Amino acid sequence: MVKTVKILCLILVCFTTSVFANVSATVSKNPVIAGESFVLDIIANEDVINNAFNSDALLNDFIVGRTSISSQTSMINFKTSYSTRWKTVLIARKAGNYTIPVFNINGQKTAPIQLTVVAPSAGKNLRQQDLFIEAEVSNKDVYVQQQFTLKVKLYFASELKRGSLTEPSLTGATITQIGKDKENAEIINGRRYRVIERSYVINPQQSGDFTLSSPMFSGEVIKATSRRSSFLSFGESTPVSVLGKEIQIKVRPIPSSYQGQWLPSELLTIHDEWQPKNKKFKVGEPITRTITLTAAGLSEEQLPKLNLTMPKGLKIYPDQAELHTNVNNNKLVSQKVKNFAIVASSPGTYTLPKITIPWWNTITNKFQQAVLPEQTITIVANDDFIQTQLNMSNNGNVQQNNNNCPMTDNGSDHLTNKTPINKTNWLQWLFLALWLLTSIAWFIRSKGNKKRLTQSNKQASPPQNNNYVHHKNAYSALIRHCKENQGKAVIDTIVPWVNRLTNPNNKITTIDDALMFINDDDFTKAINQLQQCYYGNSDENWLGKHLLAIIKKIQRQYKKHASNQKKNNDHTLNLNP
């Protein structure tokens, strides 16, 4: 009986050995440190398909990295052997005792492995690694939509063949990388490490307690070997992975007492600059007011809009805001810079209202306001601006007056001519008297004809309120400037041209008055666009084609009105001779 039992045990042992003889499983190190990568190596001594190994059973206790597969065929003494090998990178999340389960490879099973995972003791053991990650956040206690930064550093002492770094993750938050990777070197405990630094900005959108998962690095390093390198030797690579520590983040909700646009920040400031720097300006000259808003812990998109309200007599032309974002001392700082071009149409003293921006101080946990106080500026008359308009306005009148200058009387030449007279001949005295009477009669008649001709020209010319002939030069100059896309010249010519369309006693001195007189929506919109391009420092080049068509339309309307009024005047004269 005893002999029979021994035989059965021997058969069982032989069977077990045969089952595990063709497939084996080992780990690269045991024990391991939490967060440190190690390699699970499985070898099957036969040719099997690549997907015979399934690592899903490891996901509960480990972070499973990449798996490399290799096959080998060898022949010794005409005997062929095959082997298939799987190398899988694993990372233990927490300290403890774990069991790597049995794997079934083509009907054959591996032996289970008992694995011990220890916690890093104050980073002492971590520092001895060839590869590790450090992660640091700018703030662990934040408000909803309060941005904070995550700085990740990858340290490696071995030669890196290839690798990739995953993105961090936080529930209910958006994470964006800022800037480019930085590379430098550090000496730690006498050992030189290459360091790759990457920064992220995190914007939490939900309140609560969350866990920030640091990035994981996966790659291959060149394995150190004692063999001498030769011409045909190549360094062997080893797959590695490393995971940064998890960070607990507390996100606070928006205070119920807060009113307005939610702006959580450690610091928010606003200030302005004037160009020219003095507060005394001239009519018609552009004034530039630059407002700068700076906030810590806010993104460019979160910065509020900057709008100005102007009193009557001032026009404003805002530029597109410039946005900047930087990381300073591991803190995100955003800035908005906006230029406003201001043009005064009349002299006087103007008060610009104050600008108030509410925000929440995340350091003191209190409501605050950033205030730009009201400003008072003085606008004085601009002699150059007025003289330019007067010169353009009088240009047509000067030419008209020159055309109306009286001609020299040709009859006076006959009065100055001297004729020899023979006093002894009485017939000469007779002819002289007749000649003088004829000259006087001709002179009186010519003066009468000239007077009637002048009166006829005055009656034939259009009425003064039309001034179609007088504004002809200003209109021609305006058309030329529009065709040549000369925006500044068009602005200077608008007022003289409109003055030619109005009654001389009703002088227009500003573009605002001209727009009110024309009272055309298309014309007003085109002029505002022109001023925006010129005074607002717009990047777009102004084209005068659209304004040219509008000006020609207005010109035709006033010409038609002048013609109709002339016909009415002529009809009145015929009825009242």
Is 15 a domain residue? no
Same domain for 453 and 573?
yes
Range with the lowest mean pLDDT among 67-76, 85-94, 468-477?
468-477
Same domain for 393 and 476?
yes
Same domain for 175 and 280?
no
Which pLDDT value is given to residue 293? 94
Same domain for 376 and 386?
no
Maximum C-alpha span of the chain: 198
Range with the lowest mean pLDDT among 87-96, 225-234, 463-472?
463-472
Same domain for 524 and 398?
yes
Is 8 a domain residue? no
Same domain for 388 and 537?
yes
Whether omega before 204 lies within 30 degrees of 0, making that bond cis, reads: no
Q: Which residues contact 55 (CB under 8 A, 6 or more apart)?
A: 64, 67, 88
How many residues would you count in the chain?
577
Same domain for 49 and 85?
yes
Which pLDDT value is given to residue 370? 93
Which pLDDT value is given to residue 141? 92
pLDDT in tens, 211-241: 999 888 888 887 665 554 444 445 577 778 8
Distance CA 62, CA 302 (A): 39
Is 516 a domain residue? yes
Which pLDDT value is given to residue 226? 53
pLDDT in tens, 112-122: 988 888 887 64
Same domain for 146 and 103?
no
In the block, which residue shows the tokens 């032309």? Answer: 317
Is 337 a domain residue? yes
Domain boundary among 96, 118, 140: 118
Distance CA 213, CA 91 (A): 14
Higher pLDDT, 118 or 124: 118
For the chain, give the mean pLDDT: 76
Is 393 a domain residue? yes
The yes-or-no verdict on residue 386 having pLDDT over 80 is no
Distance CA 50, CA 31 (A): 29
Which pLDDT value is given to residue 429? 62
CATH number at residue 339: 2.60.40
Distance CA 480, CA 547 (A): 12
In the numeric block, which tokens belong to residue 267? 């610091």
Is 418 a domain residue? no
Number of folded domains that form the chain: 4
Same domain for 437 and 514?
yes
Same domain for 52 and 72?
yes
Which pLDDT value is given to residue 128? 57
Same domain for 187 and 60?
no
Q: Is the pTM of this model over 0.85?
A: no
Which pLDDT value is given to residue 337? 94
Is 501 a domain residue? yes
The yes-or-no verdict on residue 405 having pLDDT over 50 is no
Domain boundary among 68, 85, 118: 118
CATH number at residue 144: 2.60.40.680
Q: Which residues contact 444 (CB under 8 A, 6 or more apart)?
A: none
Same domain for 200 and 334?
no
Is 479 a domain residue? yes
pLDDT in tens, 148-196: 999 999 998 888 778 888 899 999 999 989 888 899 988 887 788 899 9
Domain boundary among 118, 135, 150: 118
pLDDT in tens, 266-305: 999 999 999 887 767 888 888 899 999 999 888 888 899 9
Pairing mode of beta strands 141-143, 247-252: parallel
Distance CA 44, CA 61 (A): 24
pLDDT in tens, 347-373: 888 999 999 999 999 989 999 999 999
Domain hosting 387: range is 382-402+425-577
Higher pLDDT, 143 or 128: 143
